[in-house]
Amino acid sequence: MGEGHLPVLVDEVLASLAVGPGSSVADCTVGGGGHAERLLETASPGGRLLGIDADRAAIAEAERVLARFGDRVVLRHANFESIYDTATDAGFVPLDAVLFDLGLSSYQLADPDRGFSFAAPGPPDMRFDETSGLSALELIERSSERELAGIIATFGEERRAGRIAKAIVAARTAGRIMTAAELAAIVESVAPSRHGPGARIHPATRTFQALRIAVNREIEVLSAGLAGALAALGPGGRMAVISYHSLEDRIVKRFVARESRDCIEEPLPPACTCGHRAQLRAVTKGVITPGPDEVRRNRRARSAKLRVAEKLDGRAQGGG
Ligand SMILES: C[S@@+](CC[C@H](N)C(=O)[O-])C[C@H]1O[C@@H](n2cnc3c(N)ncnc32)[C@H](O)[C@@H]1O
């Protein structure tokens, strides 16, 4: 599958998920199997792992990497928005631990045919699951300038979204956007780096992030995935989420905060009428981030943020 993928925050994930012998674990983003391998070792003897990925190539790689664990591993090509049904069908509910390591893998980034990278000579596809939905190129071709600007502003938090959308539509009209590299060059031509040509962050980073999020419905599926994971966990089970940009982290943070409260009415009334009951408690205060050594070894780790929460047992009270 090309270049290797170094899993991020592995020791921190293992320690905070409290996986042990016999644990039943779901890795919702199994990728190249890096975290899964360590989770299975920690769950030995007897522990089982359900590995899910939207990318067929990732499932094939995980199958190869995890082959030595035999029937302790079950792999499914699926979107984690259906984690509850997938885990139920595979006989994994209730789960002791669930991991989400969001975003894309180094394999996907390095594959020129996937169009995730600024240098890719192929069309910007950017789908995790190439078998469903629109590619980024199709999205560009079908969206109005206003829609593109909205996508880039909202999912890329890019202040120059209007200018970028205008340039993309002009290039599209002139039949110029065919490859991811051309798309990156068009963005750069109207929104150059503020830090000069040698800047560490490519000027098209936010635009590419925005298109990837839109194509994969990342915001929507993350919310559904977290809710499904919570439903699939048993009492005392834990979920860990590693995110790589602020939109994702905000969703995770708000989900944990909301599910840690008894009443979710705003402002808090004298007597609760919503009936919501806390189901989670945050295990980490704030986020866990990689240390400088890990960031030196693995550049992808630099933006990682890990949050961990534990499912309360039904009778326990939350922080209301
Ligand atoms: C950062 S990589 C995971 C790497 C993995 N932890 C490892 O150690 O090899 C993220 C993976 O999640 C997958 N993915 C992203 N969104 C997904 C979704 N909604 N459902 C299922 N898989 C998804 C991607 O295809 C990719 O393989």
Closest residue by Cα to atom 5, ligand 1, is 31
Q: pLDDT-derived band of residue 316, with 50, 70 and 90 as boundaries?
A: very low
- For residue 219, give Cα distances in angstroms to 11, 25, 125, 216, 305: 27, 24, 18, 9, 16
In the chain, residues under CATH classification 1.10.150.170 are 130-215
Has residue 6 got a pLDDT over 50? yes
* Protein residue with its CA nearest to atom 7 in ligand 1: 34
Angle at the Cα of 156 from the Cα atoms of 153 and 161, rounded to 5 degrees? 35
Residue 269 pLDDT grade (very low, low, confident, very high; cuts 50, 70, 90): confident
Q: Which atom of ligand 1 is nearest to the CA of 5?
A: 9
More confident residue, 114 or 195: 114
The structure's pTM equals: 0.94
Please give the distance, rounded to the nearest whole angstrom, from the Cα atom of residue 116 to the centre of ligand 1.
Answer: 14
CA of 282 to the centre of ligand 1 (A): 23
Q: In what order do the strands lie in the sheet with 73-77?
A: 73-77, 48-53, 24-27, 95-101, 233-243, 305-311, 280-282
- Probe target for ligand 1 pocket from 35, 41, 53, with the most ligand atoms within 8 Å of CB: 53
Q: Whose CA is nearest to atom 12 of ligand 1?
A: 29
pLDDT for 259 beyond 70: yes
CATH of domain 10-107+218-311: 3.40.50.150
Question: Measured from the CB, is residue 49 less than 6 Å from ligand 1?
Answer: no
Q: Please state which of the four CATH numbers 3.80.10.10, 3.30.420.480, 3.40.50.720, 1.10.150.170 is assigned to the domain occupying 130-215.
A: 1.10.150.170
Q: Is 228 in the pocket of ligand 1 (CB under 6 A)?
A: no
Amino acid at 147: E
Which residue's CA is the closest to the ligand 1 atom numbered 27?
31
> Do residues 206 and 157 make contact, with C-beta atoms less than 8 angstroms apart?
yes
Q: Does residue 317 surpass a pLDDT of 60?
A: no
Give the single-character DSSP code of 93: P
Q: In whole angstroms, what is the distance from residue 316 CA to residue 307 CA?
A: 21
State in Å: Cα 221 to ligand 1 middle. 12
Instruction: For CATH 3.40.50.150, list the domain ranges present in the chain.
Output: 10-107+218-311
pLDDT at 7: 94
pLDDT in tens, 212-225: 999 999 999 999 99
pLDDT at residue 194, rounded to an integer: 72
Mean pLDDT of 287-305: 94
At 55-66, the pLDDT tens digits run: 999 999 999 999
Res. 2: pLDDT tops 50:
no
Return the percentage of the chain with pLDDT > 70, whole number: 95
Q: Tens of pLDDT along 52-107?
A: 999 999 999 999 999 999 999 999 999 999 999 999 999 999 999 999 999 899 89
Mean pLDDT of the chain: 92
Verify whether ligand 1 is closer than 6 Å to residue 80 (CB atom): yes
Pocket test for ligand 1, best of 6, 8, 13, 29 (most atoms within 8 A of CB): 29
